[in-house]
Amino acid sequence: MSKIGVVVLTMGDRPAELGALLASVAAQEGDPATVVVLGQGVELPPLPDGVDGVELPENLGIPGGRNAGVARLREHGGVDVVVVLDDDGLLPRTDTFRLIREAFADRPRLGIAGFRIADETGASQRRHVPRLGGGNPLVSGPVTTFLGGGHAIRMAVIDQVGDFPAPFFYAHEETDFAWRALDAGWEIDYRADMVLRHPRTEAARHAVYYRNTARNRVWLAKRHLPAVLVPVYLAAWAAYTIVQRPPLTGLAAWWAGFFEGVRVPCPPRRPMRWRTVWRMTRLGRPPVI
């Protein structure tokens, strides 16, 4: 039976929500998980007994914080599956960890299971369904990426493909990791029955959204796409951004991030194999869209 470890990052500004999340983790069926909460350059609030609190000296960003959480879980030892949860989320069901254990036990090549993100009414935003066009959020199935707010990763995948890309800081770190996992032969599932309840939000609420989104898109392409696909991918995303008609300040930040990504390297470059490109195409999301 898989041993589950949980990583939660916090900025220390949601103590009530964090407490509710940890209570929902403790309520899960089966063996208790090893839980690590990391304060991103902040002092942590009081935590329940048995929860390992780590106060990082600075904000490492989302991928850097997750990497620190995984490293801490390794110190505890024996963790087979890493579950990452947003600090303002909540597990409304008590069988989620049981479903995770069963999913990874039944399919040895399943590397990542992405949760369904649902708001207080039970609805999922279109951007939270990791398929082109969104589709029905209640339908599970294979996908090419996953959501950062709630997901489970087999520790063996991290062992093989490495950590999340810390230089990204925020935005697209899940896609970077997913592409590496797919290229290594692992499978990714979107699981509608694994639910994380999360307040309804807009991605652009973060001040760094536009700049980091553009910069990291460029880095993603430069790191992982065959050379001929890099300009196709970036042109498609530039056109998509313009069609969305962001505010002028957002568009200016987007272009600044885009040219930062072109100018600043983010090694290593390890282009995915063409058979991975074809596999992603068959899954409905070729890596040019």
Query: What are the structural domain ranges in the chain?
Result: 4-201, 204-282
Q: What is the pLDDT of residues 4-23, one digit of tens each?
A: 999 999 999 999 999 999 99
- Could you give the percent of the chain with pLDDT greater than 90? 87
In this prediction, residue 131 carries a pLDDT of: 87
In this prediction, residue 141 carries a pLDDT of: 96
Q: What is the CATH number of domain 4-201?
A: 3.90.550.10
Q: What residues contact residue 237 under an 8 Å CB cut-off, 6+ apart?
A: 217
Distances in Å between the alpha carbon of 254 and those of 23, 167, 209, 242, 281?
39, 17, 8, 10, 27
The closest alpha carbon to 123, from 195, 188, 190, belongs to: 195
The angle at the Cα of 288, spanning 175 to 203, to the nearest 5 degrees, equals 45
CA 32/CA 97 separation, integer angstroms: 9
Q: What is the pLDDT of residues 199-244, one digit of tens each?
A: 987 765 555 889 999 999 999 999 999 999 999 999 999 999 999 8
Residue 91, both tokens: 């597990």
The angle at the Cα of 190, spanning 184 to 192, to the nearest 5 degrees, equals 160
- Greater model confidence, 202 or 118: 118
CA 192/CA 168 separation, integer angstroms: 28
When pLDDT is cut at 50, 70 and 90, the band that residue 182 belongs to is very high
In this prediction, residue 28 carries a pLDDT of: 98
In this prediction, residue 200 carries a pLDDT of: 85
CA 108/CA 154 separation, integer angstroms: 10
